[in-house]
Amino acid sequence: MSSSASSAASALPGAPFVAYGAGQLQVEQVTLSELAQQHGTPLFVYSQASILAALAAYQRGLAGRNALICYAMKANSSLAILRLLADAGCGFDIVSVGELERALAAGATPSKIIFSGIGKTRAEMRRALEVGIGCFNVESMAELDVLNEVAQASGRVAPISIRVNPNVDAKTHPYISTGLRGNKFGIGHEQALQAYRHAASLPGLRVQGIDCHIGSQITDSAPYLEAMDRILDLVTQIEAAGIRIHHIDFGGGLGIDYNGDTPPRADDLWHELLARVDARGFADRQIVIEPGRSLVGNAGVCVTEVLYLKPGEQKNFCIVDAAMNDLPRPALYEAFHRIVPLVEATGAATVYDVVGPVCESGDWLGRDRALNVQAGDRLAVLSAGAYCMSMASNYNTRPRAAEVLVDGAQSRVIRQRETVQDLWRTETP
């Protein structure tokens, strides 16, 4: 099966490069059962073609424009994925000095790095200034003052944009909504002009742009359009005050198909948004965006083995070797991931809750799933490329999974499976 075939009608919903071929589930041209046999489970497998296809949609939407796509690397920060995106021309949206060092290790261009986050430390600011990042997205008045002090002490000028909270409801899960008054992110829309005037008065800062991010897993274009109008209104006010805005950063947040979700295509969304930018007279500004989940989410699967089938009075349980430490999204957000067998099943199915071995009732991967499985069978948890491995932990002293990147008929390990000895290497008994 070619990668083009796997992206056709035979592909699974929400997984354009995952499909059954001769009854075996494949990522591009590689059979998942073979990877599981070679590398064990739990195992994360990513499709390179899927990542590049998702990026290409953004590139089409921004074609011909002065634009910078900064991958929000908190979604998945594996070095091989960062290198793939850097080689494809991406910059990076970071939220810690650890992410900064990861991006640099993967070959990122420092001037294409944007530093977001509400709690940057002085040490993080100094390091970012030292390597020459492109911009700091500043999220409070207090941060403006601290960054000014750090920049002056370092003999540098910090390029900044201010993240504005536009009070727009992204209509997503409350834990991943970031653009309402009650959220901790950004400076309120009503205080933004005052913040820009203050920033422009500080000798250690140079105003570069304006930033906005309203949430994650957004499946409707309306919140983007509303936020864009509010931000462009502010640009007009700020520039009337004599402060030039060189770039407009509209953040990320575009959703993916987890369970029949129908977000707009990235190219269609950006054609619509750019028409609004042009109509408002800002066609000459650089556009910056920070997609994360929408680039990598549907590129990944987590392969897990069925350990036991446990019938119960109220529930039947399919106990697998992947757990909430590997796939935290269901426990955190009650998130839905499709779960399918690696070998295409026939015959009667039983309804199970798919659960892991961790000692928490919140350790579940899927509820009420109809599956025809036996102990020793393997399952694939789909749409696991974002906020799974990057949020994985060692709870219950469980080593983190291995990761494999597939490119056509080739595959390579991009993260070795941890050993239990790795987990206490830095400890002293």
Give the residue, 181 or 346, on which the prediction is more confident.
346
pLDDT of residue 185: 65
Beta bridge partners of 113: 92
In this predicted structure, the answer to whether residue 181 has a pLDDT above a threshold of 60 is no
- Region 425-429: mean pLDDT is 94
Share of the chain above pLDDT 70, in %: 93
**Measured between alpha carbons, how far is 219 from 170 in angstroms, rounded to an integer?**
9
pLDDT of residue 166: 79
**Measured between alpha carbons, how far is 417 from 422 in angstroms, rounded to an integer?**
10
- List the domains of the chain with CATH numbers: 3-48+297-423 (2.40.37.10), 49-293 (3.20.20.10)
Report cis status (omega within 30 of 0) of the bond before 159.
no
pLDDT of residue 293: 95
Task: Give the range among 6-20, 61-75, 124-138 with minimum mean pLDDT.
Answer: 6-20
Confirm whether pTM is higher than 0.85: yes
**What tokens appear for 397 in the block?**
């002293």
- Region 23-29: mean pLDDT is 97
CA nearest neighbour of 393 among 295, 322, 334: 322
**Measured between alpha carbons, how far is 232 from 345 in angstroms, rounded to an integer?**
53
By the 10 Å C-beta count (0-12 exposed, 13-18 middle, 19+ buried), 9 is classed as exposed
pLDDT of residue 280: 93
In this predicted structure, the answer to whether residue 2 has a pLDDT above a threshold of 70 is no
Give the pLDDT confidence of 137-149 residue by residue, as tens digits: 999 999 999 999 9
CA nearest neighbour of 95 among 69, 57, 124, 66: 124
Output phi, psi for 57, to 5 deg.
-65, -40
pLDDT of residue 175: 38
Cβ pair 29, 408 in contact under 8 A: yes
pLDDT of residue 183: 55
**What tokens appear for 94 in the block?**
């970071």
- Region 134-161: mean pLDDT is 97
In this predicted structure, the answer to whether residue 174 has a pLDDT above a threshold of 70 is no
User: Of 165-179, 224-238, 371-385, which has the strongest mean pLDDT?
Assistant: 371-385
pLDDT grade for 313, boundaries at 50, 70 and 90: confident
Tell me the one-letter amino acid at 168: V
Give the residue, 396 or 13, on which the prediction is more confident.
396
Output phi, psi for 21, to 5 deg.
-130, 120
Q: DSSP E strands: which ranges in 171-328?
A: 187-188, 205-211, 247-249, 286-289, 300-310, 317-320
CA nearest neighbour of 191 among 181, 177, 202, 183: 181
> Which residues participate in catalysis according to the annotation?
359
Give the pLDDT confidence of 243-300 residue by residue, as tens digits: 999 999 999 889 999 999 899 999 999 999 999 999 999 999 999 999 999 999 999 9
